[in-house]
Amino acid sequence: MDRAASGETAMEASSPKLLDRVRQEIRVRHYSRRTSRTYVGWIRRFIFFCDLRHPKDLGAEDVRRYLTYLAVERNVAPSTQNQALSALLFLYKRVLRIDLPWLDDVVRAKRKDKIPVVLTRDEIRRLLGQLDGTPWLIAALLYGSGFRLTEALHLRAKDIDFGRHQITVRSGKGDRDRTALLPSRLEIALRAHLDRAHRLHEDDLEHGSGWVELPHAIARKYPNAGREWCWQWVFPASRHYTDRDSGERRRHHLHESAMQRTFKLAVLKAGIEKPATCHTLRHSFATHLLEEGKDIRTVQELLGHCSVQTTMIYTHVLNRGPLGAKSPLDGL
């Protein structure tokens, strides 16, 4: 057995209670499952880095050494290093109840100002032309409403408001709610899709399932809400799973990786040479709105950005050259 495998076994044997405490503290604060997996993963890697010593026997110097290692040896992105720092600060402050001194000697990962990849309207048409069914509808929402992929997949039936032509994003990035545009051209397709999802849910109910995961304390306040149509995912997965705690047979929403694989193939078929991802459609949404003369504050609100400085990046990729300048060669 190699060192990694033996170390994994030793760690699980020596500190499962610690990781369980981390998960419990995360649940108490209503953090997402993604955050739980991410934090536990960073804490586990930190323990391995420190030769399987318990974090209570470590301190600020060990955290500083690990974060510097990530920046220097692993060459991680600044956001990745910050993610690791957040996980370790959560471990010490919320779980171990130990206050670490300010880590001012950490070597910070170098932040690169990257201009986002944006597709032209013609490239958007070609890309959507390579998709159909549910992937087409999801991609059209990413571009037409400016969603992040996870925001689109986390939509529930109650979040779609056809009467007001808007969609409510619940607990988006930063745990913030916002309203987004519901493109008129998608209403017929979205209604038809919801009808199919509703029939699937009714079939699940007839066969003793039909449950769905509920946010926070809703399940305790309304025990039967998990089987109501309004709480069901707009884009349900094709398979069921059994929840370990409740024993309920549920459907999860469509997994991000399924959409990402389909999208990548569509980009290749469309002959698009840019490194486009699902998130590129959100970038394109913002850029095209600014090209049409929409106010940057409006775009900021539609995207759910805390600061207008984040939205300002799209002014660098408008379809009229850097900073909106015209080349003098074009005037000859």
The CA-based diameter of the chain, rounded to the nearest angstrom, is 75
Q: Which helix (H) or strand (E) holds 201?
A: helix 187-206
Q: 3-state class of 237 per DSSP?
A: strand
At residue 121, what is the residue type? R
At residue 44, what is the residue type? R
Contact 246, 224 (CB under 8 A): no
Residues 6+ apart with CB under 8 A from 166: 179, 180, 181, 182
Q: 3-state class of 332 per DSSP?
A: coil
Catalytic residue IDs: 148, 173, 279, 282, 305, 314
Contact 117, 274 (CB under 8 A): yes
**Residue 159: C-alpha distances to residues 103, 117, 154, 172, 329 (Å):** 42, 29, 10, 13, 50
Bridge partners, residue 160, by sequence? 167
- CA neighbours within 13 Å on the CB side: how many for 225? 16
